[in-house]
Structure 1
Amino acid sequence: MGGMTVLHGRRPDEGPAPHLGPHRTIAVLSDVHANVPALTAVLAEPEVAAADRIVFLGDLTWGPEPHETIAMVRALGERATCVRGNADRAVLDYARTDRVPERPRDTWMPARHTAADLDFVAAFHFTVVAEIDGLGAVRFCHGSPRSDTEAITPATAEERFVTLMAGVPEAILVSGHTHLQFDRAVGTDWRSVNPGSVGLPFHDGEPGVAMWALLGPGVHLRRTAYDAAEAVERAYAAADPSADRMKELLLTPPTVAEIVAHAEARVFSD
């Protein structure tokens, strides 16, 4: 975390975080990673279908079927609000800046987005705030309120949480990025929530689950069963250069302990 750390926060051309609401319930879906079977299963959940709003917490399209994923989110209309993740930022960087590709997927991915898809991703917010019945004002981001690459886990120390929440008035932070599902109190002042990942959840237990959360009037962590083998097949059918890696993560996901140790050692991970 030294002086060399680059914080990827709000862009210079972005205004303050949009304030949304009030809402009875909000469904929170994070880190879809263009896993269409998983997203289809979660969107079919009655609680998601009935929610006032669906907030996507970033890393929406970095996966095997970006265009199809965007079409599904567009179909939700104004009910969908998207937060920008580090992978969404990377898509735009590789497509529209001189960022140098490092892996085969870095050039493959932008080509799977149409110009309209890229415009859609470019409109994602760095962070948003929503009023929710029973919870009040809730801050949503991908990594943390200061960087889309900051990893918050169930073991994140209160000292770091104080720093990353500096200047943030909301007491409840909902973030993604680590693909870990949790809901915890941090000290006496904050509540840290991660809905887990829809498309590539890291967890203990059997594969074939998509993770998300329902907010209002409390915090409700949810899991939806789906056919992970189908997701693997679709990754290979799409000729995704990272299909082998996706198969590994979907069928033999890393444990919670492994991810916590890795994330807390690095703090910022792109």
Structure 2
Amino acid sequence: MSAQYFGPAPWEGPAKHYGPVASVAVLSDVHANVPALRAVLAEPEVAAADLVVFNGDLTWGVDPDQTVRIVQGLGLRAVCVRGNSERFVRHIATGAYTPANPRQQWVPARHGTGALAFVGSFPFSVVVDVKGLGEVRFCHGSPRSDNEAVTPSTSEERFRELTAGITEQVLVTGHTHLQFDRRVAGIRSVNPGSVGLPYHGGDPGVAYWALLGPDVRLRHTRYDVRESVAAIEAAGDPGRLRIADLLLRPPAPEEIIAEAEQMVLVD
């Protein structure tokens, strides 16, 4: 898709509000990596959280149907936000967008009818009243587009522009697969990192997430990345070589930040 803004759909209206709650576990960019997802959900702090917010890109990976079943198993504790991956799946499945490569055709076809309906129902953003933090805005890219990259180096000027339409003092985004917590332009900007495909400087086999309430705590969980790589290869993912390489040899955050800040809109 061309570089353009993809904000809330005209029919959505104001973001739905939740809370107040004492704790929220934030899991972003799972990318249908089931072993990583299961490992994070097994964490005691996640199991005890009042809500588990999936901050976009739950899908666009090898096992979307199983991922959806796991999330639906959390019942009302699970709150999902639409990412650019969910937008791609919906547009491709409905014929609004023609796949540009084999993987863009392959991934949506991995979704059963129920999974397609589920990921197609996600709202653009939600707001949760978290004790100790107040109202927190969750969106995948930015409050104005699901594909806008917010990084630890986003300038104060652009940050003011992208947050101009919100009143919350804490903004949680995903999309860049980078974990960070910073204050800029009077707002706390948080990214929990990626559960299923993180960009980081450490060893492979680590899923990143965050716990909110009464403060922001950045977390990570180890899992068997070999199981994820084996699943990708067994499924015949057309992008298996690239995805496996990203899992086993994650790119340096500095490279991702430089590229994202240059492009701004990244699909």
TM-score, normalised with respect to structure 2: 0.98
Which residue of structure 1 lines up, in the alignment, with residue 106 of structure 2? 108
Identity among equivalent pairs (%): 60
Matches of 1:124 and 1:250, distance apart in 2: 26
Which residue of structure 2 lines up, in the alignment, with residue 185 of structure 1? 183
**Aligned-residue offset at 1:12:** 1.5
**Aligned-residue offset at 1:239:** 1.5
Bigger drift between 78-87 and 98-107 goes to 98-107
Which residue of structure 2 lines up, in the alignment, with residue 138 of structure 1? 136
Which residue of structure 1 lines up, in the alignment, with residue 85 of structure 2? 87
Tell me, yes or no, if the aligned pair for 2:3 and 2:266 is still in contact at 8 Å. no
Which residue of structure 2 lines up, in the alignment, with residue 223 of structure 1? 220
**1:207 counterpart (204, 207, 210):** 204
TM-score, normalised with respect to structure 1: 0.97
Which residue of structure 1 lines up, in the alignment, with residue 229 of structure 2? 232
Confirm or deny that 1:150 pairs with 2:148.
yes
**Aligned-residue offset at 1:5:** 5.0
Which residue of structure 1 lines up, in the alignment, with residue 14 of structure 2? 16
Confirm or deny that 1:167 pairs with 2:165.
yes
Confirm or deny that 1:58 pairs with 2:56.
yes
Which residue of structure 1 lines up, in the alignment, with residue 95 of structure 2? 97
Cα deviations by residue, 1:233-269 (Å, 9 ceiling, x for unpaired): 0111111111111110000000010000000010110
Consecutive aligned runs of 4 or more in structure 1 exceeding 6 Å deviation: none
Paired amino acid for 1:229: R
Which residue of structure 2 lines up, in the alignment, with residue 197 of structure 1? 194
Paired amino acid for 1:213: A
Matches of 1:108 and 1:269, distance apart in 2: 21
Tell me, yes or no, if the aligned pair for 2:143 and 2:165 is still in contact at 8 Å. no
Tell me, yes or no, if the aligned pair for 2:182 and 2:189 is still in contact at 8 Å. yes
Matches of 2:154 and 2:213, distance apart in 1: 25
Query: Unaligned regions of 5+ residues in structure 1, if any?
Result: none
Matches of 1:106 and 1:238, distance apart in 2: 15
Matches of 2:140 and 2:17, distance apart in 1: 16
Paired amino acid for 1:32: V
**2:117 counterpart (99, 116, 119):** 119
Cα root mean square deviation, aligned? 0.9
Count residues with an aligned counterpart. Answer: 266
Which residue of structure 1 lines up, in the alignment, with residue 256 of structure 2? 259
Paired amino acid for 1:147: S
